[in-house]
A and B are shown apart, each in its own frame.
Chain A
C-alpha cells in the first residue's frame, strides 16, 4: 500500500518543491483557500475523525472549533518538539516530506484564520529548522505563502522557532512560553491556549504528524480518510518501533493494526530470538504492558488505536513502541525512565520536582542492590504522591513506568543483600 504520510518512501526527492507539486502538492491548500469556507475545512476535519498524534489523541477539528472568532489574531503552532524517548516520526516527516507537513500547517492556519503560524522545534533539530526555513522560502517564492494567496484575501506567513533542548517544551503551554522568550514552563490551565495562547491570543497547537494528515483529508474528504483505521480512531499512524526488535524504525500502519503486525511483521520479531517481556507503547511515558506465556497472544492481537491499548493496561500515546525482551530487568528499565524524568522535570511544581528527585534515589538504590524492604513500598508511595497532583502531565508520565513495573513485575524488584 502506498504511504499517506511517509510518501517520500514511495516518491523520490519529495522534499523538492517541484517534485512535491508535480505529485499533487498544494492542491489541497489551494482547494481549501479558494473553494472552501474556513469553517467548512474545520467541519471536514471534524468529520474525518482525525485525532491528535502528539499523544493525547484529542479530535483535531473539535480543538479548532474552540477558537473564538471575536478575539484576534489567531495563531497555529506546529509542535515539532518530538522529545519523547522512542519517538522519531516527526523528524522523518520534516526531513523527507517537509512540504506535506507545511501544507498541513497552512491548511490548519486557513481553517482558523491565522495569518502567522509557527513551527516549534526542539533545539537539537537545528538542521531541520534550517531545512524548513529553506522550504518556507521556496513556498514564498512559489506563491504558496505571502499575501493574497491564490488571488484571495488570505495571507499567511510561517516561522520556525528553535527551543533549547527541553522535553517540557513539548508540553503545549511551556512551548508557548518558550516561543515568547520565557522559561519553558507550563502555564496554569484554564485558560486554555485555544482562548489565551501565544501572546495571549487564541492558538491551535498540533503535532507535526497530525498536520501532515490534512492535505489528504482536504483532497479526499472525510470519507476518504475514514477508509483507513477504525471508526473511533480513523486514519493511519506512524509507529516508531524501537528496543529489542530486529528491524526498528518508523512504520506507517492503519490505526487498529495489531501489535503482532508491527512487532512480528514490520519489526521482524524480537532480536536474538529472545522472548518478549514488556511493551512500552508510548515511549518513556508508558505504563509497561506485561507480556508472558499466559497473555502473549492476547497482547499481540490487541489492536493499536486510541481505545484498545487500554485493555492491556496502557495507552497508545505518541505510538513510540519500545520493545523489552527478557534479558532486561524492569528495575533497570525504570532506572532509565526516572533518570530521564528527573532530568527533564522543569521544577515548576513540587510533586514532580521533588518526587522525581526521590524516586531517582530509590530506583538507583534498588537497581544497585542496596534497597531496604521499605524502599520498594516507598517508591510506590512516592509515585502515587506525584501522580495526579502536578501542574502538567509530565509529572504523571514520570510515574507510569514506575507504578506499572512495580505492580506487574514484582519479581524484578529485590531487597538488597547488604
Chain B
C-alpha cells in the first residue's frame, strides 16, 4: 500500500495515500473544491482553472536541507505567489491547503465569471437545468451579475448532431474536454476532438457515422453543462420532476447498475413512465458507466406497442387453460425459459416443472454454465482490482459488442498492467489493448485454448498469473462448441477455483443466464426433438421467431403455452398466452456472469393485465397443487437462500446493503463525478461456488474447420441487432442496420462476392438477403452470420452464398 501523507485542508487534518490529488483529498475530508475539467476517473489536465486554491508547503532551509522553522518552532510554510490548481497537485507531507481564503474565493469567482460570459445562460430550456454543475457552482461560488455586454457574447450553433444519439450545443460547451478524454482514455474510442483554437474551439466528431462509440451516452453524464444531451431525453422532462428508482440493465450479462428516472406522463395516461436510464454507481460492476445499448435500448421494449395484457377474467381463464394443459401433460410437458427471467422466476419455474415431472430447459444459444458455476469468479472478485501480475484471457468473444462495459474495464485492467490475451477468430476492438492477440481459424477454438499453456510467453502469463480470469463467449460457436470451450477454459483454472479475482466467466447473451445455471437449468442438446409431441411452455423466449425449424417443432408439439411481455412469433402460435410484467414493473434479482446477485426494484406500475413471472408460476402451482411463493419476490428469495446452497445467506436486505464507494458521485457535488447516481440500494452479493463438482474438463472438443471447398456459416453477435429487446429502440434503427454477413475477401473472391454487395444466404432451410462485409481477419471458408438479424443460425453449419446484386 502507498505511503500515507498528512496534510491540512482548511485546518482539517487529512491523511491520504501518497499520490492523491489535493482535490480528492479535500473531497475525502468532506471539503468541496469546485471543478469542471477534473473528473475522478480521468487524469487531471488543469484546463478549466476553476479549482484554484492556495497551497503552502514546508520550506526547506537551503543550508541544512532540513525543514525551516518559524521562531515559535512551527514549520515555516512557503506559499506560491500564484493560486494553484487543486486537481493537478498531488498532496505532500505537511502541506497546507486553503480553499476558502479571500484570495482563493476571488480566484474561483473570477474564473466562473469568465466561463459564464461565454455561456448562453439558457437554463430555462436546457435539459441539464436543475442538475447542472455550472448552475450549481455559480450559485455557490459565482456572481449573479455580469460586467460584460450581452451583445458581444460569442454565438454558436445550438443544434449540432454529433450522430443521431447525441446532440451538441456549441454555445453551452465550456471546453473542458471531459467528453474527448472519456472517449479517448476511458472508452478507447477516440472519436471526438477539438477543432479550431482559442475562443473558437469546438467539439467535433470525426467518425462516420458520427460519434461512433457504444459508450457515447456517458459523455452526457459527465459533461458539466448542457452541451451534450441525448436525443433520447432531449426536452423530455425537467430534472427536478424526476423520481429515481434503482434497477439493473437487462441487456447483457454484466448487470450494470442503473437508475430509471420516472415521472407521471400525460402521454401515458397520467401514470408513471420511464424517462431515461442513468448509470448508478457500482465500482465492482460498472463503476459509473453504462453502454448505449443499455441507455438507448434499455427499457424501451417494456413500453412497446406489442406489450401483452389481459383483463382479470381473461387472465384467470388463461391461467386455468394453461394449468389444465400442464396437468394433462404432466411429465410430457417441457418448460423452455429465456435468460431474461429473474432468479425468483427460475426458482418457481423449476419447482413447478419438478412437481409435474416435466423437463425444464434454459433457452440459450450458449452453453457451459456447468463450468461457470463451478469455476466461476470467487466471491469478492472485482475486475477493477486486476492489474500488474494478473492475466485476463478472452476467448471467442467480441466484448465491445457483447458486453461493452467489460471491454472498458478490461481495457483499464490492461492499462494498470494486467496481461490481456485476446483469442478470437477475427479482429475485435479489444485487440488494441491486448498484450497478446491470438488469431485462430473458426473451428479451432478448443484446440487453440488447449495449446495456450504450451506457448512461450502466453503460457507463462497464464501459468504465472497471480490472478487469472477467463472470459469465453460464443463467437462462431453454438451449444456444443461453447460447452467444449468452457471445459477447455476451466482447465486453465484448475487450482484457482474459488479464489478472489480468479475464475471463468461466460459471456452470455442475457442478463440472468448465469442465474439459470446456478439454479440448475441448462439448454437442451437437441431442442427440436425435445419439443415434438410435447406440451411446451415457453417463457421469455421466442424460439419460433428465431428459427423456422423451431417454429416447425413447436407446430408439431401437442400444445404451446407462451408467457412473455411482448407479442412474438411464439405467442402468436400459442394456444394459451400468459402476459408477464416487465422487469421494470416488479422486483427481482439477476445473477451477473460474474456471479453477483443484484436487486432491481419497481420503477413503474405493472402494465394492466400482466403479472410477474414468478407470480404466474405460483398461480399455476395453486391450480396444480404445488405450493409456491407468489406473494413477493423477496419471499421467493428467502426460499432460494434456504434451499440453494450457492445462494445461502442471501436476502433482499443484504442485497440492498451499500458500503462507501470512491469516487463519491451523485450527491450535491454533481460537478465532481457527473450526473450518474449514487448507489443507495445495494451493491449486490457474490454467490458461493456451486458445490456439485463440474463435469470433467478433459477429452472434449475436436476440429470443426471447414474442409476444402466447403463453406461454413458461424453465428456471431453484434451489439445492436433485431432481437426482441432491441427492435423497439427506435433511436438505434440506423445503428442496427441491415442483415450482413462477414467473410474473408479470399473466400468472397471465389464466390464473386464484392464488399458491400448484396448476397443471398441459404442456410438452415432459409434463403435471406444480406450485405457482404469483408474482414481479412476471418479464416477462409467461413461466413459470419449475425444472430438476431432474421437469418436463423445457432450452430456452425454449411451455407450457400449467391450474389444477388453487385455493390
| Known pairs A342-B199, A343-B198, A347-B175; A355 contacts B49 (CB<8 A) | no
Cα(A351)–Cα(B175), bound, Å: 12
Asked if A346 is at the interface (CB within 8 A of a chain B CB), the reply is yes
With CB as the reference atom, state the residue of chain A lying closest to B90: A190
Is A351 touching B199 in the complex (CB atoms < 8 A)?
Answer: no
State how many residues of chain B have any CB contact under 8 Å with chain A. 35
Cβ contact of A351, chosen from B49, B148, B193, B197, cutoff 8 A: B49
Binds B, one of A33-41, A121-129, A215-223, A382-390: A382-390
- Enumerate chain A residues within 8 angstroms of B193, measured Cβ to Cβ: 183
Asked if B117 is at the interface (CB within 8 A of a chain A CB), the reply is yes
Asked if A131 is at the interface (CB within 8 A of a chain B CB), the reply is no
Asked if B201 is at the interface (CB within 8 A of a chain A CB), the reply is yes
Asked if A358 is at the interface (CB within 8 A of a chain B CB), the reply is yes
Asked if B662 is at the interface (CB within 8 A of a chain A CB), the reply is no
Cα(A354)–Cα(B119), bound, Å: 10
| Known pairs A347-B194, A358-B148, A378-B147; A353 contacts B201 (CB<8 A) | yes
Cα(A344)–Cα(B199), bound, Å: 10
Query: Which of chain A's residues 195-234 have a Cβ closer than 8 Å to chain B?
Result: none
Asked if A348 is at the interface (CB within 8 A of a chain B CB), the reply is yes
- Enumerate chain B residues within 8 angstroms of A353, measured Cβ to Cβ: 118, 175, 198-199, 201
Is B111 touching A350 in the complex (CB atoms < 8 A)?
Answer: yes
Is B199 touching A188 in the complex (CB atoms < 8 A)?
Answer: no
- Enumerate chain A residues within 8 angstroms of B118, measured Cβ to Cβ: 353-354, 357
Asked if B60 is at the interface (CB within 8 A of a chain A CB), the reply is no
Ranked 3 nearest A-B pairs via Cβ:
A347-B201, A354-B114, A345-B198
Within the complex, the shortest CB–CB distance from A346 to chain B, in Å, comes to 5
Is A188 touching B83 in the complex (CB atoms < 8 A)?
Answer: no
- Enumerate chain B residues within 8 angstroms of A378, measured Cβ to Cβ: 147-148
Is B198 touching A389 in the complex (CB atoms < 8 A)?
Answer: no
| Known pairs A344-B198, A345-B199, A350-B114; A188 contacts B82 (CB<8 A) | no
Query: Which of chain A's residues 111-135 have a Cβ closer than 8 Å to chain B?
Result: none
Interface of chain A, helix or strand or loop or mixed? helix
Within the complex, the shortest CB–CB distance from A111 to chain B, in Å, comes to 26
With CB as the reference atom, state the residue of chain A lying closest to B112: A350
Cα(A22)–Cα(B82), bound, Å: 52
- Enumerate chain A residues within 8 angstroms of B82, measured Cβ to Cβ: 388-389
Asked if A67 is at the interface (CB within 8 A of a chain B CB), the reply is no
Cβ contact of B46, chosen from A188, A361, A381, cutoff 8 A: A188
- Enumerate chain B residues within 8 angstroms of A374, measured Cβ to Cβ: 147
Is B46 touching A349 in the complex (CB atoms < 8 A)?
Answer: yes
Asked if B47 is at the interface (CB within 8 A of a chain A CB), the reply is yes
Cα(A385)–Cα(B50), bound, Å: 12
State how many residues of chain A have any CB contact under 8 Å with chain B. 29
- Enumerate chain B residues within 8 angstroms of A351, measured Cβ to Cβ: 49, 111, 114
With CB as the reference atom, state the residue of chain A lying closest to B36: A350
Interface centre among A166, A168, A347, A361 (most CB of B within 10 A): A347
Cβ contact of B198, chosen from A347, A358, A361, A381, cutoff 8 A: A347
Within the complex, the shortest CB–CB distance from A393 to chain B, in Å, comes to 11
Asked if B52 is at the interface (CB within 8 A of a chain A CB), the reply is yes
Asked if A356 is at the interface (CB within 8 A of a chain B CB), the reply is yes
Cα(A355)–Cα(B111), bound, Å: 9
Asked if B88 is at the interface (CB within 8 A of a chain A CB), the reply is yes
Report 17 cross-chain contacts, Cβ distance below 8 Å, ordered by A residue. Answer: A347-B175, A347-B194, A347-B197, A347-B199, A348-B47, A349-B47, A349-B49, A350-B49, A351-B49, A354-B114, A357-B154, A358-B114, A361-B149, A378-B148, A389-B49, A389-B52, A389-B107
Is A350 touching B47 in the complex (CB atoms < 8 A)?
Answer: yes
Cα(A353)–Cα(B200), bound, Å: 9
- Enumerate chain A residues within 8 angstroms of B196, measured Cβ to Cβ: 347
Asked if B241 is at the interface (CB within 8 A of a chain A CB), the reply is no
Cα(A385)–Cα(B152), bound, Å: 19
Asked if B68 is at the interface (CB within 8 A of a chain A CB), the reply is no
Query: Which of chain B's residues 491-540 have a Cβ closer than 8 Å to chain A?
Result: none
Cα(A357)–Cα(B148), bound, Å: 11
- Enumerate chain A residues within 8 angstroms of B88, measured Cβ to Cβ: 188
Cβ contact of A388, chosen from B48, B83, B115, cutoff 8 A: B83
Cα(A357)–Cα(B110), bound, Å: 15
Is B111 touching A188 in the complex (CB atoms < 8 A)?
Answer: no
With CB as the reference atom, state the residue of chain B lying closest to A357: B199
Cβ contact of A358, chosen from B47, B81, B117, B174, cutoff 8 A: B117
Query: Which of chain A's residues 319-358 have a Cβ closer than 8 Å to chain B?
Result: 342-351, 353-358
- Enumerate chain B residues within 8 angstroms of A381, measured Cβ to Cβ: 147
| Known pairs A183-B194, A343-B198; A349 contacts B48 (CB<8 A) | yes
- Enumerate chain A residues within 8 angstroms of B154, measured Cβ to Cβ: 357
Inter-chain pairs besides A347-B196, A378-B147, A385-B114, 17 sampled, C-beta below 8 Å: A183-B193, A188-B46, A345-B199, A347-B198, A347-B199, A348-B47, A350-B47, A350-B114, A353-B199, A354-B114, A354-B118, A354-B199, A358-B148, A388-B81, A388-B83, A389-B83, A389-B111
Cα(A404)–Cα(B174), bound, Å: 30
